[in-house]
Structure 1
Amino acid sequence: MPVLSALELARIQFAFTVSFHIVFPALSIGLASFIAVLEGLWLKTGRQVYLDLCRFWSRVFAVGFGMGVVSGVVMSYQFGTNWSAFSNFAGSVTGPLLTYEVLTAFFLEAGFLGIMLFGWDKVGRRGHFAATVMVAVGTLISTFWILASNSWMQTPAGYAIVDNRIVPTDWFAVIFNPSFPYRLLHMSLSAFIATSLLVAGTAGWHLLKGRRDQAIKTSFSMALGMLLVLAPLQAVIGDAHGLNTLKHQPAKIAAMEGLWETEKGGTSLNLFGIPDMEAEQTRYAVSIPHLGSLILTHSWDGEIQGLKSFAPEDRPNSLVVFWSFRVMVGLGVLMILLAAVSLALRKGGRLYETSWFQRCTVLMSPTGFIALLAGWVTTEAGRQPWVVYGLLRTADAASPVSRQQVGVSLMIFVVVYFLVFGTGIYYLLKLLHKGPGADEHTPAGEREPIGATVTYSGRRPLSGADDRIESEQQGGADHA
């Protein structure tokens, strides 16, 4: 068994923590906007179903938000412990951008989150709705700054190098660097799509269990309607993002396609294959002539540089990037297909009665997050061997720490993460198992009137998810 170096262990540690972290902010981004829409519909129509859904998904949001904050704080410390050379070189750019995220987004979310979760009986309807909207806006502003920082690392701009350190010379160019608009849209849509699939899968599971109440049907319909709009739009944004990547990071595109030779007169597309970095070829390739040119350059004979055009030390690991990209794209195609089938069933009046389709929504419910993770692997592994593309290599960005130090901290992270976040995810799944619209199962005389207030005893985000799930589980099962 090969012995991993401190650099390799540091990369594994960061990949592990960021993989845990990114799921929860994506859920928060999508759910915050969904909750704001639900509360707005309740205020406009007065329908109890929207209030029921708003309350339920607010509890789910509280759990996801809490886990996102904890995992984000842990991840940020690694810039000092494992990547101090990177912080020293590029901290004058990444530091302010992350500070702007805290000042303009996190404080906004945290400030209004208390009103959103605990203020139903403290403020009026409009005041509470305004707080919910502010939380949703805060999640999007946070996305803006985080993606600005990450995109600058991919396509640096607006800088000078003085005394072997980055010095910002144009903050507008730093923030709105060449890849930023595409990454911002792509990531934001990914969060909304992942949330739509989770909501649809939750509703589909309850439909399979026999529930046909309005809360479940409304969740199912709204989530699939959103997916129908966003999944094809994501394909368009992804295509534009690919063109941008081809211009600024051609080696990444070559690795994504398992392309080694620069083909004159038109580039083939490798549908499948096993890239071999040592042999410099893609084994067992199944290729379609000229399709690579059509997709990647929008022309029949467009030329794309192969990996052999780049020095071996400047090549990303094609095996990893090739397959992570295909996982993302393959799941994206399935999402578009799911949305198209939902439209056909909706027009035929069979959306809520087709059990095989409901099973598909349940199976597809985690795929939004899987595709999101696959996309981040493609983005980050495809940038290698650079941590700041073309300026600072990953090997030169690491801290002078020993293999033992990084290995021990990695093992601690693994144990603690699986204990803490395993428990959190278990609780989240139990909430989803209970499902939305619990108020609709109580006798009419015992239900709260429209506009009734909700009182929470806690004052922390996770206190917003105050259901005693275990004791209520049987009642939900009996109803189903």
Structure 2
Amino acid sequence: MDPTALLLSRLQFAFTISFHIIFPAFTIGLAAWLTVLEALHLRTGKMVYQVLFEFWLKIFGIAFGLGVVSGVVMGFQFGTNWSELSRMSGPIQGPLLSYETFTAFMLEASFFGILVFGRKRVHPWFYLFSVAMVALGTTLSAFWIMINNSWMQVPVGYVQQNGVLVPDDWMKIIVNRVAMVRFMHMLLAAYLSSAFCVAATGAWYLLRKTYRSEALIMLRMGLFLAAVLVPAQLVFGHLVGDYVHEHQPAKFAAIEARWHDEQPAGEVIIAIPDPATESNRYEIKIPVLGSIIGSMSTTSREVGLTSFPPQDRPPVLIPFLTFRVMVGCGLIMLGLAWLGSWLIIRRRLEGSRWVLRFIFLSFPLPFIATLAGWYTAEVGRQPWVVYGVLRTEHAMTPFLTAYAAATSLILFAVVYAFIFSFGIYYIYRQLRAGPGVSHAATSPDVMANRPMSLADPGLLSDRNYAQAGE
């Protein structure tokens, strides 16, 4: 086993999945929101909901395509860089990935064309059904991926035969507490990503004094949803921490930067972990809080990293820092969602430009939190790829050279940079162009920002559309 090839293979997987996870995290929630918009349009008849739907559908299509392109690479890497993982766990991971194809991809492939091209070709209620099926497909895709990854985190329902891990109880593999909690944690992260992107777009338009009707709807729906979901996400985040505390104590100790057993345990707020001395530098610590977080007790004994052999310990610095980045982003999102929602209820948000600026600048926060949480889970799992069963170094393709691993990593970096720079630029162009004409378009200061071709008297006279912005 070439250590350099192993490091490069790990960097390649981290690089490609970091790009990939951004787009499903956005499109899962966005597909659900498109379903809500279409249902509201059918229920109320207000044109503003259809205009918003058509606007965000373009962005969804671009992000969905980028997610598909980046996701294809994941399967190839199992064969090129991690063939031993595929050989040993293929009887379990292979069917799980197939289930994603037979359920999620089937729904997306069957109804995506209707979603994009079928509004005028099918009955309105069937079109709504098609939108909902695409949303269900994106959710099922996340479900099967999280089942797969959760099994790697906490392997259950298997037996080992001739060096191969084979399924023994599919219900234990698919339906277990760890998998369900982690799936809900990821699903809420996706909904929050979409909610903050939608709210940030609305704040941007209000700051530019354009598309007022659409902007207010985006802000209300995005911030109200986030105000409810962020507390729920914090609860599920704590439940995820419970499984880590129970099943992966070394990871939990690394996240806490706890080197020695403590009773009761303090909570390290910030520090610089030093593996050489097995201690923390510049440590700020709250007594007893670590036991409360870990075991909901003020007297519990919490395990430290020195209780594990050095070869079984995960890296400390990355999970320690990324966990705090994730929690910090969550608390900022909670504050913004509650403050923005309160100002909306008081009808003061439109005049609070400094709050609008913060909401506009908040759109990267859920993506940063998602990536930080993923790094915490994956780096904290080391040195295992299937926790407690298969080490990462033993999962790599035999005789893979550093040259081959470096070549594929550079190639992926170049191709991803080319494709995604154009994709993200096109999304920005769509956002800057804005949605269609709204009631706000009749104001003189806004009409200057509209293309003349959009000043369609037929649209502007639509009473339902005019009422939607009031």
TM over 0.5: same fold? yes
Which residue identity does 1:445 align to in structure 2?
P
What SS does the corresponding residue of 2:262 show, helix, strand or coil?
coil
Q: Tell me what 1:94 maps to.
A: 93
How far residue 178 of structure 1 moved from its aligned partner, in angstroms, is: 4.2
Q: Tell me what 1:470 maps to.
A: none
Correspondence list, 1:77-476, <5 A: 77-211=76-210, 213-264=212-263, 266-400=264-398, 401-438=400-437, 441=441, 442-447=454-459
Which residue identity does 2:382 align to in structure 1?
Q
**In 1: Cα distance, 2:388 partner to 2:290 partner:** 25
- Structure 2 unaligned regions, length at least 5: 442-453, 463-470
What SS does the corresponding residue of 1:121 show, helix, strand or coil?
coil
**In 2: Cα distance, 1:15 partner to 1:288 partner:** 33
| Contact map agreement 1:86 1:397 (CA 8 A) in 2 | yes
What SS does the corresponding residue of 2:214 show, helix, strand or coil?
helix
List per-residue Cα deviations over 1:228-279 (Å, max 9, x = no partner): 0001110111111111210011111100010011102x11000000111222
Q: Tell me what 2:66 maps to.
A: 67
How far residue 344 of structure 1 moved from its aligned partner, in angstroms, is: 2.3
What SS does the corresponding residue of 2:277 show, helix, strand or coil?
coil
**In 2: Cα distance, 1:276 partner to 1:343 partner:** 43
How far residue 304 of structure 1 moved from its aligned partner, in angstroms, is: 1.5
How far residue 433 of structure 1 moved from its aligned partner, in angstroms, is: 1.9
| Contact map agreement 1:216 1:436 (CA 8 A) in 2 | no
Which residue identity does 2:457 align to in structure 1?
G
What SS does the corresponding residue of 2:226 show, helix, strand or coil?
helix
**In 2: Cα distance, 1:244 partner to 1:164 partner:** 27
**In 2: Cα distance, 1:214 partner to 1:160 partner:** 59
What SS does the corresponding residue of 2:410 show, helix, strand or coil?
helix
How far residue 348 of structure 1 moved from its aligned partner, in angstroms, is: 2.1
What SS does the corresponding residue of 2:276 show, helix, strand or coil?
coil
How far residue 391 of structure 1 moved from its aligned partner, in angstroms, is: 0.2
| Contact map agreement 2:255 2:323 (CA 8 A) in 1 | yes
The structure-2 alpha-carbon separation of the partners of 1:312 and 1:62, relative to structure 1 and needing over 3 Å to count, comes to same
| Contact map agreement 1:156 1:177 (CA 8 A) in 2 | no
**In 2: Cα distance, 1:436 partner to 1:299 partner:** 52
**In 1: Cα distance, 2:179 partner to 2:10 partner:** 24
**In 2: Cα distance, 1:119 partner to 1:386 partner:** 47
What SS does the corresponding residue of 1:305 show, helix, strand or coil?
coil
**In 2: Cα distance, 1:343 partner to 1:123 partner:** 37
| Contact map agreement 1:151 1:177 (CA 8 A) in 2 | no
How far residue 122 of structure 1 moved from its aligned partner, in angstroms, is: 0.8
Which residue identity does 2:36 align to in structure 1?
V
The structure-2 alpha-carbon separation of the partners of 1:45 and 1:267, relative to structure 1 and needing over 3 Å to count, comes to same
How far residue 144 of structure 1 moved from its aligned partner, in angstroms, is: 1.1
1:22 aligns with 2:34: no
Which residue identity does 1:422 align to in structure 2?
S
List per-residue Cα deviations over 1:346-402 (Å, max 9, x = no partner): 232102221001100111111111110000000100110000000000000001210
Which residue identity does 1:77 align to in structure 2?
F
How far residue 4 of structure 1 moved from its aligned partner, in angstroms, is: 6.7
**In 1: Cα distance, 2:218 partner to 2:363 partner:** 13
Query: Normalising by structure 1, what TM-score?
Result: 0.91
| Contact map agreement 1:255 1:382 (CA 8 A) in 2 | yes
Q: Tell me what 1:466 maps to.
A: none
**In 2: Cα distance, 1:178 partner to 1:84 partner:** 29
What SS does the corresponding residue of 1:179 show, helix, strand or coil?
helix
Query: Normalising by structure 2, what TM-score?
Result: 0.93
**In 2: Cα distance, 1:218 partner to 1:9 partner:** 46
Computed over aligned residues only, the root mean square deviation of the Cα atoms, in angstroms, reads 1.4
How far residue 448 of structure 1 moved from its aligned partner, in angstroms, is: 9.0
List per-residue Cα deviations over 1:178-205 (Å, max 9, x = no partner): 4101100100000000111111111111
**In 1: Cα distance, 2:394 partner to 2:225 partner:** 44
| Contact map agreement 2:211 2:434 (CA 8 A) in 1 | no
What SS does the corresponding residue of 1:299 show, helix, strand or coil?
coil
How far residue 447 of structure 1 moved from its aligned partner, in angstroms, is: 2.6
Which residue identity does 1:383 align to in structure 2?
R
| Contact map agreement 1:202 1:435 (CA 8 A) in 2 | no
**In 1: Cα distance, 2:69 partner to 2:437 partner:** 29
**In 2: Cα distance, 1:439 partner to 1:91 partner:** 53
Q: How many residue pairs end up in the alignment?
A: 447
How far residue 176 of structure 1 moved from its aligned partner, in angstroms, is: 2.1
Which residue identity does 1:220 align to in structure 2?
L
How far residue 439 of structure 1 moved from its aligned partner, in angstroms, is: 5.8
**In 2: Cα distance, 1:4 partner to 1:89 partner:** 21
- Structure 1 unaligned regions, length at least 5: 451-480
| Contact map agreement 1:14 1:78 (CA 8 A) in 2 | yes
Which residue identity does 1:95 align to in structure 2?
G
Tell me whether 212-221 or 252-261 shows the greater mean CA deviation. Answer: 212-221
List per-residue Cα deviations over 1:92-132 (Å, max 9, x = no partner): 10000000001111111121010011101110111100100
| Contact map agreement 2:211 2:437 (CA 8 A) in 1 | no
**In 2: Cα distance, 1:74 partner to 1:49 partner:** 39
Aligned sequence identity (%)? 45
**In 2: Cα distance, 1:437 partner to 1:378 partner:** 41
The structure-2 alpha-carbon separation of the partners of 1:449 and 1:388, relative to structure 1 and needing over 3 Å to count, comes to farther
